Every structure is written in C-alpha cells, then in structure tokens.
Structure 1
C-alpha cells in the first residue's frame, strides 16, 4: 500500500514538473471587445507558437499551439 502511495506521489510530481511555471491562461474576452492572445514557447516571449483572435462578431480565429506564455491585448468594438 505504501508503495502505491509513493508511486502516485512520484508520478504526480513528475507531471507537475513538466508544466512551465510561467505558463498562463488567457483572460476571458468581454462582450463588446476584440481580444488577441499570442502564445510563446519561452518566458522571454521570443518564439511565437500560436495566436487566438476573438472578433467583435463573435467569430474566433486560431492557429498554432494555444498554450504556453501569453501576451494578451483587447480593444473596444466600434
């Protein structure tokens, strides 16, 4: 029984260690705003790996990998 508990603890620790500590979730895009989220593989934000754009019409456009370090911007719809 103790071996199982230790095995689970080791696997959980290993799984958590693979998630970048600086990785972020993008904020929710509020109604009446256009939002753009850029995803980078590194904390210096030099290697762009994906983009998600939420348009005023409600349409969403994405490409690439949508996880990692982010830069998020928003602007009001006209």
Structure 2
C-alpha cells in the first residue's frame, strides 16, 4: 500500500514538474491590453492545437492544449 502511494506521488510530482515549464514560457498580459496566444504542434507552426485569449474585460477563453510553439499578440483596449 505504501509503495503504491509513493509511486502515485512520484508520478504526480513528475507531471507537475513538466507542465509548468510550458506555462512559464507564456508572456504576461498587461492590464489595459487584450492578448492572444496561439499554440502549434510543431516549430513550423503549421498545425494550430490550442488558443488562449485574455479579453479587456478580464475574461479568459481557452481551448485545445498548450505547447512550446507559440505565437503571441497583444493590442491595446479602447
């Protein structure tokens, strides 16, 4: 039983150590701006696999998955 708990804890630690690496690469969206992050499956950025949009109202819309291949854009709110 203890071995099983330790194995699950080790697996969870490994997963959590990997996921934040991609998330840390995301630029911060400054107040007063709308930001759009597009995630692609490869370095050539040919296959869109996810999007995160941060609106001027503070609402965030996401779909798909986060990868290391990112196009990021921002525009000032009016």
Same fold (TM over 0.5): yes
Paired position in structure 1 for 2:70: 70
What's the offset of the Cα at 1:25? 1.5
Moved beyond 2 Å, runs of 4+: none
Paired position in structure 1 for 2:57: 57
Structure 1: where are the runs of 5+ without partners?
Answer: 1-14
RMSD: 1.9
| Residue correspondence of structure 1 range 1-78 to structure 2 within 5 A | 25-78=25-78
Higher helix share: 2
Secondary structure at the counterpart of residue 58 of structure 1: coil
